[in-house]
């Protein structure tokens, strides 16, 4: 059965490491829904978070194949435990002055924020799990979304683990 999986990968902060990981997904036909990379808690190591989908066997293969990359230090199946998953979205939406109060209402409900206002548009910044971003996008669509940029999910297991 195809399911969504969120995995975190601790990698050496080396040139080409993103290419090694993404290339592996590409050539073995593993799906990437989103990928984020940034610094980790340890100097010299980066943390990638990849959201992928596939059956359990694919999921097992993904983890095993990732471990074959020398620059991969650790693979964590974040999604198998209770986790915090967050994504940031910037949405530039049409906002004639007349429409602004309504849009601000939506922004407030989602605990989002307005980070830029232009003559007839504004940029809304929203943070949350991907479902929340999807919902926000749906609600802003009627006003006309000019541009959207989503970071992809970054995630962590809850608690002290």
Residues interacting with other proteins, by CB under 8 A? 11-12, 15-16, 19-20, 23, 27, 57, 60-61, 64-65, 67-73
129 burial (CB, 10 Å; 0-12 / 13-18 / 19+) is middle
Nearest to 77, CA basis, from 107, 101, 54, 104: 54
Residue 79 C-beta: closest distance to other proteins, Å? 20
b/e map 41-55, b = 16+ CB within 10 Å: eeeebbbbbbbbebe
Residue 56 C-beta: closest distance to other proteins, Å? 10
Cβ-based nearer residue to other proteins, 16 or 159: 16
Cβ-based nearer residue to other proteins, 68 or 161: 68
Residue 72 C-beta: closest distance to other proteins, Å? 5
Cβ-based nearer residue to other proteins, 54 or 130: 54
> Cβ(65)–Cβ(124) under 8 Å?
no
Residue 142 C-beta: closest distance to other proteins, Å? 45
- How far, rounded to the nearest angstrom, does the alpha carbon of residue 129 sit from its chain's CA centroid? 8
Cβ-based nearer residue to other proteins, 2 or 149: 2
């Amino acid at each position: 059965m195809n399911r969504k999986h969120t995995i975190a990968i601790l990698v050496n902060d080396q040139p080409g490491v993103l290419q090694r990981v993404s290339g592996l997904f590409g050539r073995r036909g593993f799906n990437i829904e989103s990928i984020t990379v940034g610094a980790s808690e340890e100097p010299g190591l980066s943390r990638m978070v990849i959201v992928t989908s596939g059956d359990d066997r694919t999921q097992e293969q993904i983890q095993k194949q990732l471990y074959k990359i020398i620059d991969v230090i650790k693979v964590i199946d974040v999604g198998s435990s209770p986790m915090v998953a967050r994504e940031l979205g910037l949405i530039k939406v049409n906002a004639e002055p007349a429409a602004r109060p309504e849009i601000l209402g939506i922004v407030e409900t989602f605990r989002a924020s307005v980070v830029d206002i232009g003559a007839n548009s504004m940029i809304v910044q929203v943070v949350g799990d991907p479902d929340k971003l999807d919902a926000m996008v749906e609600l802003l669509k009627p006003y006309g979304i000019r541009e959207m940029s989503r970071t992809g999910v970054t995630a962590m297991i809850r608690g002290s683990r």
